Amino acid sequence: MSILQQHLQESVRAIRERTKVKARVGIVLGTGLGALGKEVQAELRMPFSQIPHMASASVQSHSGELVAGTLNGTPVYVLEGRLHYYEGHRLSDIVYPVRLLHALGCEVLVLSNAAGGLNAAWALGDLMVIEDHINLPGLVGANPLVGPNDEAVGPRFPDMSRPYDRKLIESAHAAAKATGLSLREGVYVMVTGPNLETRAEYRMLRNLGADVVGMSTLPEVVAARHVGMRVVAFSIVTDLCIPETLEEADIDTIIKTASAAEPKLTKLVKQMVGTLA
């Protein structure tokens, strides 16, 4: 058994000692998008620092927690808080939580993030379900699957023809309809950050075919597809990245926009997860 699998088994054991929750659905919440965690009827809230081999434990003591319970009747594990590449974490540490959700028995992965809007027809606070992605860091080397491959975990050359599960995307649209929310569908491009982009970079990203740009999520998606999980991911448009009218970026405004749109995303994901029981 590989070191990775040993670590995963130890993490799973530590969680199983504390909860009997068996969930098929795992949810990873983006920074500032933790409200959904509060909607969970929780049997357990376990700080990452108490889970062996979760990297955040050694870096930041209060950087997140695992919530186990039910959301709208469906058993779930929710991870509040994630690691970012721009913080200097190793990609293998960034994707560890996703591999852990899989080791815990999750077959479906729901992800959320805040992103900049490149599509000129869209507005601040819009919600988008990701239909496809451009993994810029992953294409040129910063890919969590680089290195020896454990065939027991997943294939050497995982398919990415459809990383986002069409049935889950349709469930997301149905949930949007049921809750009276509008939901866009589009392409997410990842950059490493931490600086925001220049006008020329936004123009390039738009020309590449992306609707939104962000600094997270894609390493987790790639790792989830590697192990065969079905993935659905949502973005909140927190700033407008239109080169012709670009204003100076203000991180406080970005975070405020994320918080203002968060109740919509929470409602949508709660409704959707209820249909996945």
Query: Which of 21, 46, 114, 127 touches ligand HPA by CB under 6 A?
Result: 114
- 140 Cβ neighbours under 8 A, 6+ residues apart: none
- Is residue 115 part of the contact set for ligand HPA (CB under 6 A)? yes
Phi-psi region of 81 (alpha: psi -120 to 50; beta: other; left: phi over 0): left
Angle of the 91-103 helix axis to the 3-16 helix axis, nearest 10: 50
Q: Which residues in 246-275 contact ligand HPA (CB under 6 A)?
A: 254
Residue 44 — φ and ψ, nearest 5°?
Answer: -150, 135
- Is residue 239 part of the contact set for ligand HPA (CB under 6 A)? yes
Name the residue number minimizing CB distance to ligand HPA. 116
Query: Which of 30, 144, 214, 219 touches ligand HPA by CB under 6 A?
Result: 214
CB of 209 to ligand HPA, least distance (A): 16
CB nearer to ligand HPA: give 69 or 116. 116
Binding range to ligand HPA, per CB under 6 A, among 9-17, 148-156, 180-188, 189-197: 189-197
Angle of the 251-274 helix axis to the 166-179 helix axis, nearest 10: 100
- Is residue 32 part of the contact set for ligand HPA (CB under 6 A)? no
CB nearer to ligand HPA: give 95 or 115. 115
- Is residue 116 part of the contact set for ligand HPA (CB under 6 A)? yes
- Is residue 238 part of the contact set for ligand HPA (CB under 6 A)? yes
> Which residue's structure tokens are 């970012």?
84
CB nearer to ligand HPA: give 101 or 241. 241
- Is residue 33 part of the contact set for ligand HPA (CB under 6 A)? no
CB of 152 to ligand HPA, least distance (A): 35
For 64, 127, 233, the CA distances from 130, given in Å and listed in that order, are 24, 10, 6
How many Å apart are CA 17 and CA 20, to the nearest integer?
Answer: 8
Where are the extended beta strands (E) located within the chain? Answer: 25-29, 41-47, 65-71, 74-80, 108-117, 127-135, 183-190, 212-214, 230-240
- Where on the chain is the footprint of ligand HPA (CB under 6 A)? 114-116, 191, 193, 196-197, 213-215, 238-239, 241, 254
